[in-house]
Structure 1
């Protein structure tokens, strides 16, 4: 008997967890293999004022073509050593075969919270409220996102290699004329490693499972090879 790979086992686990959500128990499920790349620069501007800027190309259809391109940036204020509040903006391009690209604009407010060091690791929370406008509709979509992230060194006393897991749930707060439906929107689950590169720069490598409710009894599941570079200065 052929033994299942760790990535396949993680995929099955994430899909089994999502099946407990009513919207994820859909009659029709489509799956895709994708590659996501995230290049992020972040650091101080002046005093307690900080920023981050992201470039994210995402390849879909078996990683054969560009599925989405996301440009996002934000300016934040450190309210305490463990809490930072951001105001940001994102531009998202969704290519359409044989047609005009769909563009999405987002304004968002984000709260980052360092929650502590349980079991020798680091637990953080990221809460984001988005206002979304798309070129194929006139309504404003409101969406709430919550991420819990945990990382732990694999070697005591060293941050060269950290085990990393996170989960992020998306909740649409209203219906729109471009297709958003109020309620559960998607769930992302990640397992991988964080590697120290130089100074505070890190690379995150791993598997991300994305379960999306597409309404009308349809669910999309993306199996994603995720690569993220954080440049901190």
Structure 2
């Protein structure tokens, strides 16, 4: 009986340690480069974005995103967009997976308090992936804060934002309803002429994986925003 008890306890300990190991986050260092062109003609607005993302210790391209959108300026603080995104995801051993997204977006300049400018971006996505037939629905909400570091007109600004992703349904290609991921960014916004800017900083992404684990990405984020 004592021998059986020892074997049972050993099995339980092994299972418990294996469970803890599988629940440990997987960390990766990445580099994301983004170029976005913004423009408007009267009340009509548009943007076009190209974003390569390099992962696995910045040793290979993980994703390439092309994302154009057209919209309408309701007023000086509110703009509505309809857009499309083409996403290529590269993974070792699984080749290239493609995704098509339609999305609706609301951009709102909330206002300014004590020199800190606040803005909101709400995006609703409809997602189709080459590895399944289901349509995935996802809601994204970003809150962004910017504070000029000097009183000069073209001042460098400190930037911080966070964006929460929530999947609204399960799909046959791996999406699970509920928390999908959260991104948080801290960095600097540098004016480069006119209304155009460069943003550089640290981006943290914590995501739920299809295997019910957690992936944590530590990202050097470089962004060029060209505005006419």
TM-score (norm 1): 0.86
- Structure 1 position 158 matched with structure 2 position 153: yes
1:62 to 52, 57, 60: 57
Deviation at 1:221, TM superposition (A): 0.2
Structure 1 residue matching 2:91: 3-state secondary structure: coil
In the alignment of these two chains, the number of paired residues is 207
| 1:52-84 Cα shifts (integer Å, max 9, x gaps) | 000000000000100100000100100111000
- Structure 1 position 101 matched with structure 2 position 96: yes
**Tell me, which stretches of 5 or more residues in structure 2 are unaligned?**
1-21
| 1:77-109 Cα shifts (integer Å, max 9, x gaps) | 001110000000000001233443100000000
RMSD: 1.2
Partner residue, 2:30: 34
1:188 to 183, 187, 190: 183
Between the aligned partners of 1:214 and 1:81, the Cα distance in structure 2 is: 39
Which structure has more RCO (C-alpha within 8 Å, separation ≥ 6)?
1
- Structure 1 position 144 matched with structure 2 position 124: no
Between the aligned partners of 1:159 and 1:151, the Cα distance in structure 2 is: 13
Deviation at 1:215, TM superposition (A): 4.6
What aligned pairs does 1:12-31 form with structure 2 within 5 A after superposition? 27-31=23-27
Structure 1 runs (4+) greater than 2 angstroms displaced: 96-100, 157-160
Between the aligned partners of 2:103 and 2:132, the Cα distance in structure 1 is: 19
| 1:99-138 Cα shifts (integer Å, max 9, x gaps) | 4310000000000000000121210000000000000000
